[in-house]
Structures are given as C-alpha cells and as structure tokens.
Amino acid sequence: MTVLGHQPPGPDEATGPPAPPPASALEVLRPRLRTAGRQFAIGPGWRRLVLDCHHRISAEFPAYELLAVKQKYGRLSFQAFPRPWRPGERSWTPDEHARLHELLDATTARSESLCERCAGPARLRRTRRLWLTLCDACEATVGESGELD
C-alpha cells in the first residue's frame, strides 16, 4: 500500500523486511510532545512508519504538536495537532485540520498491513487480549502477553 505517493521499502523474499530503526530513532519526536516524558507505545516494526509520518507532517506543519504515538486495537494511533493548542484561541483552520487528518489516516491505514514486530506484511490478530497486527512468523513467536521487543 502506498502512503500518499510514497512506497516504503518492502520485504525482499530472500532477506525479509528491512531491520526496524532502533528505539532511539524516535527521540526526534520528543520535542514535539505536549506531555514531556510520554512513551511511544509501539512495536519496532512500526518505527519507520512513525518516522515517515513525522517527516510528512512536519513538512506541512512545522510547529505540529504531538499528543501520543501508540497502538490501539491493532492499528497505529499517531495523535497530533497542526500546531500547539491554546485554550480560548482558534489554533488552526478547518482545512489544516482536514489535511493533518488525511496524513494521519493514511499512516493508520498503512499500519493495518504492517507487522508491529518486524515490519513485514501482516494482518490483524485477535488471538490475545491485546489485538496485534502481525505477520505469520511473528504471530507464532509473540507470547500471550503481546510483548514485541
């Protein structure tokens, strides 16, 4: 699936999907967080997707504010505002809101077929209390707790 004209690197049949970036790669998002110290609650397979989303949003909304990055019901939830929200002010236009959500929706849609653990082709698994999007190999490997690292 293409995310707004961009085809992320796909798995090679001989080598599998590209290795996920290290968790430290997400540190570039920290200055955007509304709440300092918030954790990024995603598996390693979605890190590249999150970084791609961050770059696309920051290109159009240089001052965007990040609320959370997490997995919710087996889908990526990247929650953001076009710029920092200020009580009592109109912080962004309806067009800006719509465009931001277009970018976020495309990223969420991509997460629905990308393994949270290895970044390979995947599907939603409802085999644990925590719903996960996993490839067949990771489905067989990930325990009942759903721990991905």
The answer to whether the CB of 63 falls within 8 A of the CB of 96 is no
Q: What is the pLDDT of residues 34-48, one digit of tens each?
A: 999 999 999 999 999
Q: How many CA atoms lie within 13 A of 147 on its CB side?
A: 3
Position 13 pLDDT exceeds 70: no
* pLDDT tier, 14 (very low <50, low <70, confident <90, very high otherwise): low
Residues 54-92: tens digit of each pLDDT: 999 999 999 999 999 999 999 999 999 999 988 888 889
Cα–Cα distances (Å) from 69 to 14, 20, 50, 89, 141, in that order, read 31, 16, 8, 25, 24
Contact of 27 with 3, CB cutoff 8 Å: no
Which residues are paired to 119 by β-bridges? none
Residue 7 has pLDDT above 90, yes or no: no
Residue 110 has pLDDT above 70, yes or no: yes
The whole-number pLDDT of residue 73 equals 95
Q: Give me the percent of the chain exceeding a pLDDT of 90.
A: 76
| 65, β-bridge pairs | 81
Residue 28 φ/ψ, nearest 5 degrees: -60, -20
> What is the structure's pLDDT at 10?
47
The pTM for the full model equals 0.85
